[in-house]
């Protein structure tokens, strides 16, 4: 059975920390960086829970500044226990 694994790549310098992507994520993958800021002084988004990402791209659709690139990859798992 194939399971889709996703990854979100953030353009840190373009992110203004609007939090729209964080709210739109159904898997609670993204979070605003609590301590670090980019060169413009904004707390930017990062993947806090990378393993939970399903590559749905909801975050990328709502990002007003096109800061996010979403990749999907199918992981083939073989279940040997019967």
6-61 pLDDT tens trace: 999 999 999 999 999 999 999 999 999 999 999 999 999 999 999 999 999 999 99
Inside any domain, residue 81: no
Inside any domain, residue 82: no
Inside any domain, residue 63: yes
Q: Give the range of the structural domain holding residue 42, as residue numbers without chain letter.
A: 2-76
pLDDT of amino acid 19? 96
Residue 44's domain is classified under what CATH number? Answer: 3.30.70.20
Number of compact structural domains in the chain: 1
Query: Which residue stretches of 1-82 are H helix?
Result: 20-24, 58-62
pLDDT of amino acid 2? 59
Structure tokens at 61: 């659709």
Beta bridge partners of residue 32, listed in sequence order: 45
């Amino acid at each position: 059975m194939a399971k889709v694994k996703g990854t979100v790549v953030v353009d840190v310098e373009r992110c203004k920390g609007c939090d729209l992507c964080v709210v739109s994520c159904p898997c609670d993958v993204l979070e605003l960086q609590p301590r670090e800021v980019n060169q413009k002084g904004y707390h930017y988004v990062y993947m806090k829970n990378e393993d939970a990402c399903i590559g749905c791209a909801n975050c990328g659709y709502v990002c007003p500044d096109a800061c996010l690139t979403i990749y999907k990859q199918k992981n083939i798992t073989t279940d040997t226990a019967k």
